[in-house]
Copies of this chain bind each other. A is one copy, B any other.
């Protein structure tokens, strides 16, 4: 991902937060052809460090062609919104503020045990906030193993991680204040999130 230096982050905790909050992301590959799948990702770590996990349908083209060691690019787009140049007190061009993480890595196909464990942790993450959570433990092993027949689980071992945190760092204090005020007034989810992140930027 191209990120001008002023917007580039090396903050590992920000990287994990963006991935954690935007788990429905994009799995991109170029085995045989350019192909991208919207899929739910889970961050994980082992003795070698951070890696990603996801699963897609076995009927998906990527599940048919991807093999251990193949390269993929995973794109996580977080909060983002339009920044109007009409908010500045001088002539300029409009832009878009956003946070995003891209992980390039090599895939490793999960074993059945790893896939079971992955589904257990992924279900826990998204079911815990529900009123009546329905965990993998509630489904019974036979049911889960039957569902697993249609799933292709992969781990993605990172070779390169890029973190974009574009929050008008190139603007002076007055412009930033105007941007934040305008975003708060617009009030949609993306604008409010970016306004808050701009306020909290160290």
Q: A: which residues have CB within 8 A of B?
A: 1-2, 4, 24, 26, 28-30, 34-38, 40, 56-57, 59-62, 71-73, 75, 77, 80, 82, 84-86, 91, 93-94, 96, 98, 100, 102, 104, 123, 126-127, 130-134, 139-140, 143, 147, 164, 188-189
Contacts and interface: CB of A to CB of B under 8 A. Distances in A.
B127 A94 contact: yes
Given A28-B36, A36-B75, A84 B130 contact: yes
A188 B136 CA distance: 25
Contacts of A147: 93
A197 to B, nearest CB: 16
Q: Is the interface of A mostly helix, strand, loop or mixed?
A: mixed
A104 B35 CA distance: 9
Contacts of A84: 126-127, 130, 134
Given A38-B98, A75-B36, A86-B127, A139 B61 contact: no
A134 B85 contact: yes
A35 B72 CA distance: 10
Contact of A2 (B2, B28, B56, B91): B56
B34 A104 contact: yes
A60 B2 CA distance: 5
B59 A4 contact: yes
A139 B91 CA distance: 7
